[in-house]
Amino acid sequence: MSELTTYYSEKPYYIAACKHGYGVDQIPAMAIRLAQTEVPAKSKPSQLLIYRSISFVEPLGWKHGAPVWPNGVKPQLAGLTTTHSLFRQAPR
């Protein structure tokens, strides 16, 4: 085993972000639902990016089709859906 290998026992945070707002939770479906509550009912479907992070982080805004993160932090992109789609967890 390599000395550089690091294991995390804590659950990651999921950040669902779109141009209308975001949601953060340790359960992906809840993060998506929280972000969807920020979307106006009459808006057209748009992209909803799902990120995974070891620490709690919130995006500062939306620029050039992607979230802006504080101090250069960039969580790992974990998925993509739309603001008007329901979440269905796929078995791993």
Q: How is the chain split into domains, by residue range?
A: 13-82
pLDDT, residue 85, reads: 77
pLDDT, residue 83, reads: 86
Please tell me the distance from the alpha carbon of residue 69 to that of residue 71, in angstroms, as a whole number. Answer: 7
Q: Which amino acid is at 37?
A: T
pLDDT along the chain (92 residues), means of 10: 59 93 93 92 90 93 89 88 73 58
pLDDT, residue 91, reads: 59
pLDDT, residue 74, reads: 86
Q: What is the pTM of this model?
A: 0.81
Residue 82, helix vs strand vs coil: strand
Q: Over the stretch 47-60, which tens digit does the pLDDT of each residue have?
A: 999 999 998 999 99
